[in-house]
Amino acid sequence: MRNALWLATMGLLGLALLGQEPKGAGKKSKKEVGPQPRVVTPAARDWQPPSDAVVLFGGKDVNGWRKKDGSPTGCKAENREMICATGSGDAVSTETFRDAQIHIEFKVPLMQDQQGQRRGNSGVYLQACYEVQILDSYENPTYPDGSLGGVYGFAPPLVNASRKPGDWQSFDILFRAPKCDGEGKVSEAGRVSLFLNGVLIQDGVKVERKGGGCRLAAICGEGPLLLQDQATSQTRRTRR
């Protein structure tokens, strides 16, 4: 997405340079002296966090995570990886949010003796309410919204951009939470856009109700990120 935007911007700049200099060039308009956007320092590499990011796992410990009952998470930090073995329980972030841009890297284990939903099944719950499916979807067909990157109960992925099990994969998610009126009713649907391994697979999918397995009593407030424990060991990581 960054490359596409950069190329489009450069294309527009090239056209502007080829045109004639407009009248009044050199004078600042009212728009140019107005409020400026907040500065965010980008990372040196694409997978590193920008300056305004909240780092949920920094590689050293899992202090930013807990179980649903508030007790310490069953996941562990090892070799800058967050390892959540089967039976460790759902991992819930201590940070809560509404609108968010989320980057997560994960590795699905090889389970050759299983098929369909039993191969590497897990999930990332946005706001603890909307599940983005994790599954070994490499040459492993299943029902559409149960595939890797499906927004469970809402939309299947546009394409299958899965890597082989055992390879590192990444989600880059843009989440807009639903908006509610004064009575707590949804007045504007939320939306989910998602890149899997750099490929767009969800484009502004509407989420106007609770997703299956939602852990929130109401969807109008903030909620945590939840990593699902579902009979498959999963590994997440940080890199530097």
Which stretch of 10-24, 29-43, 158-172 has the lowest confidence by average pLDDT? 10-24
Which of 195-199, 227-231, 235-239 shows the highest mean pLDDT?
A: 195-199
Q: What is the pLDDT of residue 23?
A: 59
Tell me the two tokens of residue 16. Answer: 């502007």
- Residues 41 and 53 sit within 8 Å (Cβ to Cβ): no
Q: What is the pLDDT of residue 197?
A: 96
Q: How far is it, in rounded angstroms, from Cα 185 to Cα 83?
A: 38
Neighbours of 3 (CB within 10 A): 9
Model pTM? 0.79
The 3-state DSSP composition of the chain as helix, strand, coil percent (nearest 5) reads: 10, 30, 60
Q: Of 193 and 22, which is predicted with more confidence?
A: 193
What structural domains and CATH numbers belong to the chain? 94-229 (2.60.120.560)
Q: What is the pLDDT of residue 8?
A: 20
Q: What is the pLDDT of residue 207?
A: 95
Q: Which whole number is the average pLDDT over 146-170?
A: 94
Q: How far is it, in rounded angstroms, from Cα 163 to Cα 108?
A: 9
